[in-house]
Structure formats: structure tokens, C-alpha cells
Amino acid sequence: MTGTTEAGSVGVTTTQAVRLFTAESPLVLATGAELGPVDVAYETYGTLNADASNAVYICHALTGDAHAAGWHEGDKRPGWWDNLIGPGKPLDTNRFFVICSNLIGGCRGSTGPSSPNPATGRAYGLDFPLLDMSDFVAVHRALLASLGIGRLLIALGGSLGGMQVLQWSLEHPEDIAHAAIVAASSRLTAQNIAFSAVARRAIMDDPQFNGGQYAIRGTNPDVGLSIARMMAHITYLSEDAFTEKFGRSPQGETSRRGFGIDFAVESYLDHQGQVFLERFDALSYLYLTRVMDYFDPFSRPDALTGLAASPVRYLVLSFDTDWRFSTEHSLRIVRHLETARQPITFRELRSPYGHDSFLLDDPTYHATLRAWFDRALEVGT
């Protein structure tokens, strides 16, 4: 133990909430609509240094939340990116100050479509305004300001999180010294949109959806939301990973032919669909997926202009078996950024696990991130 730090846990963490916008001083959205109040749930790990130069912002994926690391009282599992964040881990909380917040439009402490609408006193439902990726960025920036942080050492995100990092770096490059975009996309394909469209249909066509006012009706579109989640999980794993994990094995000792759960893969999907209902809101699923569908920052002719004055050091990572956002998606991001002459490190990493790889503790992946984070600390803000 001579000077080294063992990889460890950040310990017990709690999610805090802060009101960043009020009804009187609302958030002005990209559409021009106004939203207030806006509460944001967040967690932090580590200590902000004296010149606030060690701040790392974690942007979560579609169904993530603010609880990225450590343990909540009574929880059976740590935060969703606990393998990455903690003492001695790649995002070493002895050196970095890490912030993670729940997205607006979400359902884990930040204001979203199931929050009360001050105009009616009941949930917004589908009266919640349509969001844009830049609205997420605006809220992240407001949280940073409230924490007294002017510029990030690193912004990091996977999947939808990477899309936020990209948008942020294009819109406010002066905020970010180093931007890490993992398993993400700058533009969903028709097939990507198709999967999300069918998921939304399953939710909205569920009779218990009740036009989005399910809470007040005492219903919940459990069938639609679990179908959406099961379908999404098919896209999160590679075909080979499905074969390796489940193959054609029965769930029980022997096959019980019929229409119940027989194959192990059916049991897995059923489980994923059911546990999702305990932690996620159907309206949030609609709003957050639609932000992804419409995201297309490089379609704006002025997308890259800010980067000339404030270059950002980018890390772009993809996984070779990711068929949700294949390497081609990452390469499209790289090609655009190259035209703006940004310093970019790009890697396609090998992993058998498909899109889910960005959440896993793969040695090469984590070594790549660790080296890049360490270099960011050397270069500074």
C-alpha cells in the first residue's frame, strides 16, 4: 500500500435536488416554449479542487439516472457506472470531481412529464413540452453554474449521454476541455428510429396509457412499457452475445413446450421488462427517445463554427459488435469533427457484448478511458 490507491467504492451516496428554474424565471426551451419550475436531481463524487479544474460531467443514457456510483442505503446494486467511478478507478475520485444529473424529461428526481403541471396541479402528461438535446445541455450548464464551475475538465457520456456531450461541445465548446463520446450517434438511422417508434406505439396504444394521464386514472401502461423495454434489450446485446449467454437453452431443467416462458432468453427478456416497470416512467420513455430521433446537429450549417475559437479534445469510442450505434455512427462524428480540425482520438474497441459494452468493465475499454482521463488531467482545462 505504498502510495497506491486500491480501486474502491465512493461509499454511500445520496441524490440531491436543486431548483434551477422557477415558474417566474423559467427555462426557455429550444422550441421557445417555457418550462418552470425545473428541478434537477444530481450526485457528486470526489472533491472539487481550489481552482475548480478537476470537474467531470457524466451524461447518462436513455434509462440512466443521477446515481452513477456508490451505494444508496438499502440498495442491492451500486450506481450504474460504479465500475468506472471511485477511488483508484479510471475516473479516480481521489483526483476528479464527478457530477451526474438526471435528465429533464426523466423520472428519477428531475422535472419530467409525470411531474405536476403548475397550471393544472396534475401530471403534465403529453402537455409537457417537446425537448431537444440542447435543452439537456442548458440544464446541465445551469447546474454547473449553481455549483460554481465555469469549465469542465471532461464531459463524458455513452449512447444518449454521448449525444449530449456532442451537442454541448458544439454549442458551448468553451465549457469543455475534453469530450468523451462513447457508443453514440450524431444521427439516428431509419432502423434506429423504427425500433423507438414501435416502442412508443406499444406504450401509447396500451389502453392504460389513457392519453398520458395514467397517474390520475390510477393506471399504468405496464404492458406497453415492458414490451418497449424487452425490444430495446434485443438491440443492446450483439447476436453473438445472445447466443453465448442463452443459446437455445431452456430456462428450466427441461423444455416445457408451450406459449409460456421456456427458453432462457425469454426469461431474461421477461425479467428486464418487469424490473424496468419499478424504476421508469412511460412518458419519460416517449420524451427521451424522441429527443434522440430528432437529434442531427451536423445538419446545421453553423454546427462547427464555435470549435474554431474553442477547440475541444475529443475521444470517440465505438464497439465492434454494437449494432444499435455501430462504428459507422462514431466515424460519422469523427469525420465531421475532423473537418473542424479538432484533436480527436478514435478507437473501435473489440467487445462481444454489443451496445451494452459501454457500461461494462472491459479491461481494454477501461484502460483506454483511464489513459485518456489521466492525459486530460495533465493537459488541464
For the chain, the maximum distance between any two Cα atoms, rounded to a whole number of angstroms, is: 65
Residue closer to a second copy by CB (options 243, 339) is: 243
Locate 339 and state its grid cell. Answer: 473537418
Stretch that binds a second copy, among 91-99, 144-152, 174-182, 245-253 (CB under 8 A): 245-253
| Residue of 62, 265, 315, 334 interacting with a second copy (CB under 8 A) | 265
Residue pointed to by grid coordinates 450505434: 325
Residue closer to a second copy by CB (options 39, 270) is: 270
Report if residue 50 touches a second copy, rule: CB under 8 A: no
Stretch that binds a second copy, among 33-41, 57-65, 146-154, 204-212 (CB under 8 A): 204-212
Selecting among 110, 355, 356, 362, the annotated active-site residue is 355
Q: To the nearest whole angstrom, how small is the minimum distance from the Cβ of residue 242 to a second copy?
A: 4
| Residue of 12, 145, 198, 367 interacting with a second copy (CB under 8 A) | 198
Report if residue 39 touches a second copy, rule: CB under 8 A: no
User: Considering CB under 8 A, how many residues would be counted as binding a second copy?
Assistant: 50
What is the distance between the alpha carbons of residues 85 and 64, in angstroms, rounded to a whole number? 15
| Residue of 258, 278, 302, 378 interacting with a second copy (CB under 8 A) | 258
Phi and psi angles of residue 219, each rounded to the nearest 5 degrees, phi first? -115, 170
Q: Which of 81, 149, 77 is nearest to 360 (CA)?
A: 81
| Residue of 72, 95, 151, 245 interacting with a second copy (CB under 8 A) | 245
Do 264 and 246 form a contact (C-beta atoms < 8 A)? Answer: yes
β-strands 91-92, 16-21 pairing? unpaired
What is the distance between the alpha carbons of residues 131 and 173, in angstroms, rounded to a whole number? 21
Report if residue 355 touches a second copy, rule: CB under 8 A: no
Q: Catalytic residue at 134?
A: no
Near a second copy in 131-160, by CB under 8 A: none
Residue closer to a second copy by CB (options 63, 368) is: 63
Report if residue 274 touches a second copy, rule: CB under 8 A: no
Secondary structure letter of residue 30 according to DSSP: T
Near a second copy in 291-320, by CB under 8 A: 293-294, 296
The SS3 call for residue 19 is strand
Q: Catalytic residue at 271?
A: no
Q: To the nearest whole angstrom, how small is the minimum distance from the Cβ of residue 246 to a second copy?
A: 4
β-strands 91-92, 85-86 pairing? parallel
Q: How far is CA 100 from the centre of its chain?
A: 10
Locate 212 and state its grid cell. Answer: 398520458
* Burial class, 130, CB count within 10 angstroms (exposed 0-12 / middle 13-18 / buried 19+): middle
Selecting among 101, 159, 169, 318, the annotated active-site residue is 159
For residue 62, CA distances in Å to 66, 152, 304, 337 come to 12, 22, 26, 24
Q: How are strands ordered across the β-sheet holding 38-45?
A: 16-21, 38-45, 97-101, 55-59, 152-158, 176-182, 313-319, 344-349
Which amino acid does the sequence have at 185? S
Residue closer to a second copy by CB (options 89, 229) is: 229
Report if residue 215 touches a second copy, rule: CB under 8 A: no
Q: Which of 331, 322, 332, 314 is nearest to 358 (CA)?
A: 322
Report if residue 257 touches a second copy, rule: CB under 8 A: yes
| Residue of 17, 52, 231, 277 interacting with a second copy (CB under 8 A) | 231
Q: Which of 379, 378, 349, 376 is nearest to 56 (CA)?
A: 376
Q: Catalytic residue at 355?
A: yes
Report if residue 252 touches a second copy, rule: CB under 8 A: no
Could you tell me where the beta strands, DSSP code E, fall in 121-215? 152-158, 176-182
Stretch that binds a second copy, among 143-151, 169-177, 185-193, 334-342 (CB under 8 A): 185-193
Locate 113 and state its grid cell. Answer: 412529464
Stretch that binds a second copy, among 3-11, 84-92, 183-191, 359-367 (CB under 8 A): 183-191
Residue closer to a second copy by CB (options 71, 242) is: 242
Indicate which residues carry an active-site annotation: 159, 322, 355
Residues that bind a second copy (CB under 8 A): 31, 126, 130, 187-191, 193-195, 197-198, 200-202, 204-207, 223, 226-227, 230-231, 234, 237, 239, 242-243, 245-248, 255, 257-259, 263-266, 269-270, 273, 286, 290, 293-294, 296
